[in-house]
Structure 1
Amino acid sequence: MKILVVGAGIAGSGVAYMLAHDGHDVRIIDSVDKPHSGGYQILFDTVALRVMRQIGALGIVTDLSTPTATVTVARGQKELFRIPMSGYRSARRGDLVGAISQYAARRVPTTFGQELTGIQHTREGVNAHFADGSTESFDLIIGADGLNSTVRRLAVEIDRSYLYENGRHNLWVNVPGRIAGTTEAAILLGGGLGAQVFPYTDRDQTLVLTSFNLGPGRFAGAELLPRAAELLRTAGPKFAPFIEHVENASPDSIRTTRFAQIRAPHWHARNIVLIGDAAHCIDPLSGAGAHGGLVGGAIFAEELRRTPADVAGAATRYRRRLRPFVRAAQLLTAGVLERATARGLREKLSADRSLLGSALSVRRADVPRRSYATANPAQPIEGERSTPWI
C-alpha cells in the first residue's frame, strides 16, 4: 500500500516507521524546513517509552531525557500532596521530536519543507496536492500534523467544529536556576491561577508555565507576567529566585497559548486517517500527548494488518480501542485546569462534571505487543508501571 504521512512529529514518525516495517511504501512530509530543535518540556510515560522500545528508538529518548522528579502540589505555602512520577522522563520537546523524526527517516523517505494544500478522493484512493503545484496519488493519507491539522481541515472537519476551548490561556517562561537547586517540580495553585514549575534536563533552567482564566480574546504575554510573578511570590521563599526573571522577561522570550483540545467524533474519512493531536489533541498540559499519539499509531498499524483491504474498518476499530483513553485524558486535563482556575459556582460545577466524566470514561486499552526493531523487546524500562488509562 502506498501511504503518505503528513507530519514528522512523534506520532507521524512512529506510525510511519511501523507501517514501513509491515511492508508498505511509506513517505513522510512536513511543512517545516528542517527537523525541530529546542522547545519547551515534554513528558514520556512508561507506555510511550514501551512503544519507543518497540520501534528501536528507546535509546534516543533516554539519551535526551532524564527521570521526572516527584511533583509537589501546593496552594500558597501549604503542600497539598505529592504526585510520584516513577517511570516518567522529561526532555526538551523540539530536540526529542527532531531526533525521532531523523531516526524514522533512516527507514522512511522524509521530505521537510513540503506543504499539503489539497486532498481529492478518487475511486482507487486519494490524490494529494502540494504547494509546489505537484499532485501524487496514494492509497492512504495519514494526518499526523497536530492541533491545527491541515489534513483534518481538508478532509474531516467542518469550520473548526471539533475544537474545544475553555477560555484558559497559558504563559510559558523559561527562567535560570532550579527550585532550591534541586530537580524538584511543583504545581502551584492560588488566586485563580495554576502554574507548573518544571526543571529542564539539559541545563540549569526551569519552565514556569502559568494558566489564566481570561475568557475569549487575545492577550499579550507581557501583561500577564506580573500575575505569574505574584503566584510565585505567594508560594514561598524557594520560588523567590524566579520572581524577578518572570517579571522582567522580554516579550520575545515568552510564549502564550490557549488551552485547546480536539474532540472529534470521527478520526477518518474513507482513505484518510488522523493520528495523534490531529485526531484528539489533549493539550500539552496533560503530559499524555506522546502516550496517545504513539499508542494510537501502534493500534492503527495493528488493525491495518488485520484488514489491509479495508482502511475504513481498520480506522473505526482503532478509534474504538483508543477513544476511552482519549476521552478520560481530555476530561481529566480540562477538569483539573478548569477547577483550579474557576470563577464562581457555575464554573466549579462544570469542572466537577468533567472530572466525574473522566472517572466514568476510564477503560483499559491494550498496547499491541509487537517488535518493529532488532532490539530485544523484553528490555525493561526503568520504573515501568501500568497507568490508570492503558
Structure 2
Amino acid sequence: MRILVSGAGVAGLSTGITLGNLGHEVTIVERAAHLRTTGSAIDVRGEALEVADRLGLLDSIRAHRVRMTESSTFIDPEGNRIAGMPVADVNDSPGDTEISRKDLAAILHAALPPNTGVVFNESIKTLHDDGETVQVGFASGNQRQYDLVVGADGLHSATRRLVFGPESDYLKHLGYYVALTELAPQPALEGASPLLNLPDRMVGIVCFKDSAVGVFTFRSPWIDYDYHDPAASKQILLDAYAGHQEWRIPELLDAVRNDPELYFDSVSQIQLPSWHSGRVVLVGDAAHCASLLSGRGTSIAMTGAWFLAESLRQHPADLAAALTGYEHLQRPRAERAQATAPPGGELLVPATQAAIDARNEHFRSLEPARQ
C-alpha cells in the first residue's frame, strides 16, 4: 500500500519503521523544518522495550540512556535538598530506560527502511476518503492519493480534526499547564535536577547529558488562548509565576522571555470512541494522548505503531478488520496509561503546602531503603 503518515515524532517515525518493514511505500510529512530535538528526557517502558528489541533498536536506546529522573531532587525555596525522587515506584519494569528526545528521534530516523521517506515543511490541509483511496491536499498545494493515512500528529492533530471533528469534542483538560525552556548547560548542578514546589506550582531545572531545561507546571482551569501564538503562551506563564522570587524563579522567567521556541501547552488527554474511520487511522497522542503526567506517552506511541503493523500483516486483504484489530490490542494499554496521569499530577504538583510537606516526608521515609 501507499501510506501517508502525518507527523515525524516518536509515533510517526515508529509507524514509518513498522509499516515500511512490511514492504509498504511510506511517506512521512512533518510541518516543522526538522525533527523535534528539544524538551525533557522521555521514557521507554515496559512493552515498548520489547518493541524496540524486535526492531533491533534496544541496544542503541540503552547505549544513550540518561538518568534525569534518578537525579531529580525536591528542594526548598532556598535551594536546599529535601528528598529524592522514588524512581522505582514510578517505573513499569526494571529495564525502563530514559533517553533524550533528540537521541531517540535520531535512532528512529536512522532506522527508517529505504521505502520510507520524510518530507519536512509539509502538512495535510485536506482529506477526501472515497472508500478506495484517500485524496490528500497538502499545505504546499500538492495533491496525492494514498491507500491509508495515519495521523501521528500529536495532541493538536490536524488529521483528527479533519476526520473526527473539533479537538474540543475529545480533549479532556487535566487541570495543569506545562512549559519547557532551553537553558545553557548547568555545570554547577553536577547533573542534579532540582525541583521546587509551591502550592499549585512546580518549577525546576532538569539536566541530562549536556542539556539543561527549565520546567514549569502549574494548576489552572482551562485557559482559552491561541496555542499558535508564542506571545500569548509566554504571558500566561509569566502571569502564573508573577511575584515569585524563590530560588531561581526570576532567572528562569528571564529565560522564558528570551526563548524563541518555548514549549507551552495544556496538560490534557484525548479520549476518542474510535481511532479509525474508513482509510484514516490515528496513532500516538493523536489517538490517545495520556499527557506527560503519565510518563508513558512515548511507550504507548511505540506499541501502537507495532500493533498497527501487526494487524495489517494479519489482515492484508481486509483493512477494516486490521484497523479494528489494532484498536483492540492498543486501547487497553492506552487506557491504563491515561489512568496514571491524575496520580502523577498529585505527586508532582501538590495543591497546598500541607500536601507538599506530606509528599516530601513520604519520599524521605523511602530513602533509607533505597541506599
TM-score between the two structures when normalised by the length of structure 1: 0.74
Q: Is the aligned partner of 1:215 residue 2:236?
A: no
Q: Which amino acid aligns with 1:79?
A: A
Tell me, in whole angstroms, the C-alpha distance in 2 between the residues paired with 1:96 and 1:229. 36
Q: Which residue of 1 aligns with 2:157?
A: 149
1:73 and 1:83 in contact (8 A); partners too: no
Q: Indicate the SS of the match to 1:111.
A: strand
Q: Is the aligned partner of 1:90 residue 2:98?
A: yes
Change (3 A) 1:154 1:210: same
Q: Is the aligned partner of 1:246 residue 2:252?
A: yes
Change (3 A) 1:263 1:169: same
Q: Which residue of 1 aligns with 2:333?
A: 325
Residues 216-225 or 276-285, more deviating: 216-225
Q: Is the aligned partner of 1:41 residue 2:41?
A: yes
Q: CA deviation at 1:64?
A: 4.2
Q: Which amino acid aligns with 2:86?
A: R
Once the two structures are superposed, what CA deviation does each residue of 1:8-54 show, in whole Å capped at 9, x if it has no partner?
Answer: 22111112211222222222222223333344432323543432232
Change (3 A) 1:109 1:340: closer
Tell me, in whole angstroms, the C-alpha distance in 1 between the residues paired with 2:7 and 2:179. 26
Q: Which residue of 2 aligns with 1:361?
A: none
Tell me, in whole angstroms, the C-alpha distance in 2 between the residues paired with 1:335 and 1:210. 18
Identity %: 26
Tell me, in whole angstroms, the C-alpha distance in 2 between the residues paired with 1:12 and 1:250. 29
Q: Equivalences for 1:119-268 in 2 at 5 Å? A: 119-158=127-166, 160-175=168-183, 181-185=189-193, 188-195=196-203, 197-201=205-209, 203=210, 205-217=211-223, 219-225=235-241, 230=246, 233=247, 242-243=248-249, 245-253=251-259, 254-268=262-276
Q: Which residue of 1 aligns with 2:83?
A: 79
Tell me, in whole angstroms, the C-alpha distance in 2 between the residues paired with 1:34 and 1:275. 20
Once the two structures are superposed, what CA deviation does each residue of 1:290-343 show, in whole Å capped at 9, x if it has no partner?
Answer: 101000111111111111222222222222222222222223213431576576
Q: Indicate the SS of the match to 1:309.
A: coil
Count of equivalent residues? 333
1:71 and 1:187 in contact (8 A); partners too: no
Q: CA deviation at 1:214?
A: 2.6
Tell me, in whole angstroms, the C-alpha distance in 2 between the residues paired with 1:271 and 1:289. 24
Tell me, in whole angstroms, the C-alpha distance in 2 between the residues paired with 1:103 and 1:124. 30
Q: CA deviation at 1:127?
A: 1.7
1:71 and 1:83 in contact (8 A); partners too: no
Tell me, in whole angstroms, the C-alpha distance in 1 between the residues paired with 2:107 and 2:145. 29
Tell me, in whole angstroms, the C-alpha distance in 1 between the residues paired with 2:120 and 2:154. 16
Change (3 A) 1:178 1:108: same
Once the two structures are superposed, what CA deviation does each residue of 1:196-250 show, in whole Å capped at 9, x if it has no partner?
Answer: 653222x1x53342211232335433334457763xx4xxxxxxxx456325435
In structure 2, which of residues 102, 116, 122 is the aligned counterpart of residue 108 of structure 1? Answer: 116
2:293 and 2:344 in contact (8 A); partners too: no
In structure 2, which of residues 302, 311, 331 is the aligned counterpart of residue 303 of structure 1? Answer: 311
Q: Which residue of 2 aligns with 1:13?
A: 13
Q: Which residue of 2 aligns with 1:269?
A: 277
Q: Which residue of 1 aligns with 2:361?
A: none
Change (3 A) 1:197 1:329: farther
Give unpaired runs (5+ residues) of structure 2. 226-234, 356-371
2:199 and 2:351 in contact (8 A); partners too: no
1:179 and 1:185 in contact (8 A); partners too: no
Q: Is the aligned partner of 1:337 residue 2:345?
A: yes
1:40 and 1:94 in contact (8 A); partners too: no
Tell me, in whole angstroms, the C-alpha distance in 1 between the residues paired with 2:302 and 2:338. 16
Change (3 A) 1:336 1:40: closer
Q: CA deviation at 1:269?
A: 0.3
Change (3 A) 1:342 1:81: closer
